[in-house]
């Protein structure tokens, strides 16, 4: 019903740790706050491990490893400042709209740097945060769980003065591929935004899920389904921006399914708008047939022919998979305009007691 924030400004142990864990966001302070179920003495007696409270449940442990902490501050004063900053993006309750803040940042502003920030080479990494900051108001982006799952970016910003939730792949870390347990971070954030009427903006550049036995044994199917479930369930405005790199990269079906892009993962997830960045797309194409010895020149010719015929966003646009193909510098004004159109969106899910998200 209302946003719940917890500031841990000292020790918190035993059953008391569940109180902050039940809230929406947890703030911790370096070197002075800690959260753990059992203390160092009990741990040593039972498992013979010698650890300090900081090593067992300090701010860095929960920010980087467990994911319990969403924000970490240097001292109490900074912690309270962070709390106020987050609160400024949120409504007072679940029936109110988020606050609208006046901004001097022109909603029609175009950033020409966006045309160059994403590299042309499909395998070259780039920082998606730079893209996000160039699009949002005043380049201000409040990142959530910055140190936990670095391959996914979540946080709050404003567009045209309106609060929005940002979900994005991070190509600069593991190429932005979703990893089993870390996918849940994005799912929980999407559900929070939906609970409090905050529109969701997705910046997509995903080559697919990380392969390997560790991922399958770790439950990538179940964890990946969480993100799908969260997007399906959300009734707030949902806008998707596919970067030019995202169009070029080697997209695979499963990676697309976990992000609102194509018909089965975009329209079926009730995505409101999907914008594809201008520029050609490409995939790895082997021109060699089994038993054939094609020359490199012939292989290059076939790849070029494939790119010309298929690897661009216009086929997707023609089939309704994306709503528009735009130049990168147009991203901000297009998103602001879409939010204006969708500000009166009201949608309800079928009546039920509650859903059964694959936890």
Task: Find the CATH number of the domain harbouring 44.
Answer: 3.90.226.10
In a domain, 173, yes or no: yes
Owner of token pair 């929005």: 164
104 — pLDDT class (breaks 50, 70, 90): very high
At residue 101, the pLDDT reads 95
- Position 323 scores a pLDDT of 86
Whether residues 16 and 159 fall in one domain: no
Q: Report yes or no: 200 and 194 within 8 Å, Cβ to Cβ.
A: yes
92 in a structural domain: no
Q: Which three-class secondary structure state does DSSP give residue 339?
A: helix
What is the number of domains present in the chain?
2
Same-domain check for residues 62 and 122: no
Element at 326 (helix H, strand E) = strand 324-326
Judge if 24 and 166 occupy the same domain. Answer: no
Of 271-285, 293-307, 342-356, the range with the highest mean pLDDT is 342-356
| Cα–Cα dist 118/131, whole Å | 8
Same domain, 170 and 57: no
Output phi, psi for 11, to 5 deg: -75, 145
Q: Does 119 lie in the same domain as 256?
A: yes
pLDDT exceeds 80 at position 283:
no
Tokens coding 100: 């609208």
Percent of the chain with pLDDT over 90: 56
Rounded alpha-carbon distances, angstroms, from residue 322 to 64, 128, 136, 185, 273: 35, 20, 21, 26, 7
Give the pLDDT of residue 251: 40
| SS3 of residue 113 by DSSP | coil
Burial of residue 41, with CB atoms counted within 10 A of its CB: 0-12 exposed, 13-18 middle, 19 or more buried: exposed
The Cα–Cα gap between 327 and 147 comes to 32
Phi, psi (deg, nearest 5) at residue 45: -70, -35
Mean pLDDT over residues 12-29, rounded?
A: 96
Q: Is residue 101 part of a domain?
A: no
Whether the CB-CB separation of 244 and 277 falls below 8 Å is answered with yes
Q: 41 and 152 share a domain?
A: no
Has residue 347 been placed in a domain? no
The Cβ of residue 263 has, within 10 Å, a number of other Cβ atoms equal to 14
Q: Are residues 43 and 125 in the same domain?
A: no
Give backbone dihedrals phi and psi of 315, rounded to 5 degrees, phi first.
-65, -45
54 with 172, same domain?
no
Q: Is pLDDT above 80 for 262?
A: no
Nearest one of 254, 259, 130, 288 to 201, comparing CA atoms: 259
pLDDT class for 267, splitting at 50, 70, 90?
Answer: low
pTM for this one?
A: 0.85
- For residues 313 and 281, the answer to whether their CB atoms sit within 8 Å is yes
Q: Which range in 18-27, 180-189, 225-234 is most confidently predicted, on average pLDDT?
A: 18-27
214 in a structural domain: yes
* Whether residues 271 and 182 fall in one domain: yes
280 falls within a domain: yes
Domain interval for residue 319: 114-342
Q: Are residues 148 and 278 in the same domain?
A: yes
Same domain, 210 and 274: yes
Asked whether residue 202 is domain-assigned, the answer is yes
* Pair 20, 80 in one domain: yes
Please say if the pLDDT value at position 319 is more than 60: yes
Q: Is residue 218 part of a domain?
A: yes
């Amino acid at each position: 019903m209302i946003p719940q924030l917890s500031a841990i400004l000292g020790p918190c142990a035993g059953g008391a740790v569940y109180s902050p864990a039940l809230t929406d966001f947890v703030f911790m302070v370096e070197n002075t706050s800690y959260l753990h179920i059992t203390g160092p003495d009990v741990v040593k007696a039972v498992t013979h491990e010698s650890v300090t409270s900081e090593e067992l449940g300090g701010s860095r442990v929960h920010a980087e490893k467990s994911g319990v902490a969403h924000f970490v501050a240097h001292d109490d004063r900074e912690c309270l400042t962070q709390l106020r900053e987050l609160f400024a993006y949120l409504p007072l309750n679940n029936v109110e709209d988020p606050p609208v803040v006046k901004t001097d940042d022109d909603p029609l502003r175009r950033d020409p740097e966006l045309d160059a920030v994403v590299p042309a080479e499909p395998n070259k990494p780039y920082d998606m945060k730079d893209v996000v900051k160039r699009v949002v108001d005043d380049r201000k982006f409040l990142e959530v769980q910055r140190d936990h799952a670095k391959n996914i970016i979540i946080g709050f910003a404003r567009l045209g003065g309106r609060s929005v939730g940002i979900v994005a792949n991070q190509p600069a870390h593991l190429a932005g591929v979703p990893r089993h347990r870390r996918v849940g971070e994005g799912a929980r954030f999407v559900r929070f935004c939906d609970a409090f009427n905050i529109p969701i903006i997705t910046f997509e550049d995903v080559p697919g899920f990380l392969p390997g036995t560790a991922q399958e044994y770790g439950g990538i199917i179940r964890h990946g389904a969480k993100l799908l479930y969260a997007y399906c369930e959300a009734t707030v405005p949902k806008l998707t921006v596919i970067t030019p790199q995202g169009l070029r990269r080697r997209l695979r079906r499963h990676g697309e399914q976990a992000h609102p892009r194509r018909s089965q993962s975009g329209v079926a997830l009730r995505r409101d708008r999907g914008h594809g960045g201008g520029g050609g797309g490409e995939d790895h194409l082997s021109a060699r047939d089994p038993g054939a010895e094609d020359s490199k020149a012939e292989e290059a010719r076939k790849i070029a022919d494939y790119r010309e015929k298929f690897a661009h966003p216009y086929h997707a646009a023609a089939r309704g998979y994306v709503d528009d193909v735009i130049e990168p510098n147009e991203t901000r004004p297009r998103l602001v305009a879409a939010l204006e159109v969708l500000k009166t969106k009201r949608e309800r899910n079928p009546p039920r007691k509650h859903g059964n998200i694959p936890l």
